[in-house]
Structure formats: C-alpha cells, structure tokens
Amino acid sequence: MGLREWLERNSTFLVLAVALVVLAAITFAIGDLLIERIVTVLFIDLVLVLALQVFMGNSGILSFSVAGFMGIGAYGSVLFSMSPAAKAAALPDLYPLLSGVQLPFLASVLIGGLLAALVAAVVSYPLMRLSDAAGVITIFSLLVIINVVLVHWSRLTNGPRTLFGVERFTYLGTSAVFAVLFLGVAWWFKESSVGLKLRASRDDAFAAAAVGINIVAVRYLAFILSAFMAGFAGALWAHFITSFSPYAFYLSAMFVFLAMLVIGGPMSVSGAVIGTVLVTVLREGLRSIENNVNMSKILSTNLVGFTEVVMSVLLVVILVLRPSGIMGGRELRWPAALSGRNRSQGSTGDKSEGGVPRADV
C-alpha cells in the first residue's frame, strides 16, 4: 500500500489525532493550571469513551461494565505503584505478597489494564451470547458485582473508604499521548476484519451468522479490548486524582461516558471524540455556573445536581431528535479538496440507524 493510499484510508485518525495534539499544545501554551486539569481529564475520559465505543458502538449492545473495568484498572495499578511505606499506611491489612512490591508507573498502569482484560476474558465469553435486554442486564449485573467486590474487599481497596497515598504520575503530556494511541487502537479495531464482522453482526445478526461470522467470538474480542482500554484509563485516572473510593466507578461515572458517546454518535470514532469534547465543555460551563451561584449565595441553599439535570435532559433531546448522535455513524475525513481525488466510495460510511434493528413499535 502506498503512502498516499494509507493516508487517505486513515485520514479520520489523522484528522482527529492532529486535533488532539493541537488541543494539548494550546493547553500547554496557556499554562493555566485549571485548564490543564480539565484537558487532562478530557483525554482520560476520551480513552474511556473510546473503550465504550469499541464494544457498544461496534456491537450495538449497551455496555455498563466500562466503569467497573475502570475501577479494576485503577485499584490494580495503584497496588503496584504505591511505595511499601504508603501501602502500610493506607492498606494495613494488605496481603504480604503485595505489600512489598513497587513497580514503575507505566508498568503498573499496564498491569491495571491487563488485569481488567483478564477479568473480562475469564467471565465474559458466555455473556456474549446474549443480545438486547438480556445482554444489557447481564453486563449491568457484572458492573454491580464488580462494585460490590470493590466496596467490600477491604484488604485490597480500603473498602468503601477513600484510598489515599497514591503518587501523581499522570500529567497533560501522559494523558495526551495515550489518548492519541488509543484513538488509533479504536480506529484500527473498527476498520479491522474483526471490527467489520462485529459491525455486520450489529446491523443484522442473522445475515452475519449466515455468512459465517462467529458473532460470539467477535463480540468477545471487542469486549476484552474494551476492558483493557477502560482498565488502562482507570489506572491513568488513579494516578491523576491520587485519592478515590469505589463509588467513583459506578453509575454516575457511567452516565457521563454514555452521554459523551451517545451525544457524539456511538457508531463512529469521530463521534466518540466530538461527544467527549462537547460534553466536557458543557459540563465545565454548567459546573462554573453552579459554583458561581453557590459562591454568590443568591439562593438560600446550595445548587447541587444542576449539571446532571441539564445533561440528562440534553441526552433525551438528542435521543429523540438524532438517535444516532451528532455524527450519525459517519466519520470525519480529510477534506476531498486536499486529497485531490473525489472519494464518493467511502468505505466507512455507516448508514444504519441506532445500530440495532428497528423495534416493531
């Protein structure tokens, strides 16, 4: 394949990657601490939304477990990166085998991701047989189980209490590098043979099975990749926020990721990026309104939950007006004028709506 052809075929990834790098560079140039924090979280959220996109966007099955795998990655990495002294203070009952080890940051993060992938690989194969409501409830059950275990396995997680003493390793640069890397992974997966088979099974499960696609197997691979990305992102987040409790990895976090992906458009990688950026901007705007109102004491009580109320209304409005999100399954690509050739035969245009056969209602 020539360079030109490669560039054209992967122009979506290139456009998005350049946009992310520019965003990181501008943030770095401004040098404002608050903006830097917001953009760092944006990049980590992007990896999580991409993790959701890899499974949900391509398979059409709503997956609640991303937040759970994020939690596994966070705790899994922190147990290796913390110094023995910090562990003795924060987790006095930790298993002796673990309390002495300390690994470098990147190795710990990788372990976090692999641990999440391992859990997914062990438990998820039979779950992949289920579609629609049954599939959603089983994956939701998985999230509940992971959460119960994180909350109660006190020797490893400090129970429902906050875990302190994690060193900060994740900065703007770290998160930007991994956001671009996983953007590439999500794009590559979608365009790969497995991704194509998975998308075929989403659009018509029976037709896909009829042409010989092993639906369970392709879903399984996507689920493991998704868990790995979520675990990796959770590990990055843990080393950014430095103190957290298991409740950070439950339904309210899941709501944010789902809103990001659904608003942007679950069926495309571009949708994941656009949704993440839009929702982050919107959330920060709403949150600053909330803070200003609370600071100025206009109201007798504090304004709590305002951001979520607006977000959920917006989510419903998007679902009513544009159920396949802003991008509607299309990908951003290099403007045709620049590539010099008329590309009417787009290979990645996904025209089906909602990802699932229409309901008969």
Partner 1 sequence: MITLDFIVNALSLGSTYALLALGMVIVYGILNLVNFAFGELLMITGYSLFVLSIGPRLPWVVMAVLAVGVAVLTSYLTERAAFRPVREHSPTAMLITSFAVSTLLQNAALLIISPRARGVPLPKLFSMSARVLGQDLPIRNLLAIATSLLLLGLLVLLLRRTVLGIALRAASDNFRMTRLLGVPANLVISVAFAISGLLAGVVGLFWVGRTASVTPTIGAAPLLVAFVATVIGGMRSLAGAVVGGYIYGIVFSMIGILLPPGMMEFREAFMFIVVILILLFRPEGLIRGAYSTKRVG
Contacts with partner 1, residue ranges (CB under 8 A): 60-62, 126-134, 136-138, 140-142, 144-145, 148-149, 152, 201, 205, 209, 214-216, 251-252, 255, 258-259, 262, 301, 303-306, 308-309, 311-313, 315-316, 319-320, 323, 353-361
Q: Supply 105's token pair.
A: 């940051």
d(CA 272, CA 266): 7
- What is the nearest approach in angstroms of partner 1 to the Cβ of residue 332? 23
For partner 1, the closer of residues 111 and 274 by Cβ is: 274
Give the torsion sign (CA, 232, 237, 242, 246).
Answer: negative
d(CA 272, CA 128): 23
DSSP conformation letters of 137-186:
HHHHHHHHHHHHHHHH-HHHH-TTSPB--PPP---HHHHHHHHHHHHHHH
Intra-chain end-to-end CA distance of the chain, in Å? 47
- What is the nearest approach in angstroms of partner 1 to the Cβ of residue 89? 24
d(CA 59, CA 220): 10
For partner 1, the closer of residues 184 and 323 by Cβ is: 323
For partner 1, the closer of residues 50 and 253 by Cβ is: 253
For partner 1, the closer of residues 139 and 179 by Cβ is: 139
- What is the nearest approach in angstroms of partner 1 to the Cβ of residue 115? 18
Q: Supply 259's token pair.
A: 């809103």
- What is the nearest approach in angstroms of partner 1 to the Cβ of residue 197? 13
For partner 1, the closer of residues 121 and 315 by Cβ is: 315
Cα radius of gyration (the chain): 21
Residues of 184-213 as b/e, b for ≥16 C-beta within 10 angstroms? bbbbebbbeebbbbbbbbbbebeebeeeeb
For partner 1, the closer of residues 56 and 229 by Cβ is: 56
For partner 1, the closer of residues 20 and 208 by Cβ is: 208
- What is the nearest approach in angstroms of partner 1 to the Cβ of residue 240? 25
- What is the nearest approach in angstroms of partner 1 to the Cβ of residue 361? 5
Is 214 strand, coil or helix? coil
- What is the nearest approach in angstroms of partner 1 to the Cβ of residue 325? 10
- What is the nearest approach in angstroms of partner 1 to the Cβ of residue 92? 18
For partner 1, the closer of residues 190 and 219 by Cβ is: 219
**Whether 324 contacts 354, CB under 8 Å:** yes
d(CA 39, CA 52): 20
